[in-house]
């Protein structure tokens, strides 16, 4: 059983792993917060 397979095996669960979803959501939230922080500081600071 190789855990590092890039694609899920056929007939596997349709929903992706919770870890992958959590990582993707966390990354999106981090990027969005960084962008919002940069915009806010640029607008407020000068």
Q: Tell me the pTM.
A: 0.52
In a domain, residue 1? The reply is: no
Handedness of CA 3, 7, 12, 14 (dihedral sign): positive
* Total domains present in the chain: 1
pLDDT given at position 30:
98
In a domain, residue 41? The reply is: yes
Instruction: Judge whether residue 29 has pLDDT over 60.
Output: yes
pLDDT given at position 18:
87
In a domain, residue 34? The reply is: yes
In a domain, residue 7? The reply is: no
pLDDT given at position 45:
83
Q: How far apart are CA 40 and CA 46, in angstroms?
A: 10
pLDDT given at position 41:
94
In which band, very low, low, confident or very high, does the pLDDT at 42 lie, cut at 50, 70 and 90?
Answer: very high
In a domain, residue 35? The reply is: yes
């Amino acid at each position: 059983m190789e855990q590092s397979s890039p694609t899920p095996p056929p007939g596997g669960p349709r929903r992706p792993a919770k870890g992958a979803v959590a990582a993707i959501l966390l990354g999106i939230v981090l990027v969005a917060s960084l962008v919002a922080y940069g915009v806010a500081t640029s607008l407020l600071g000068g």
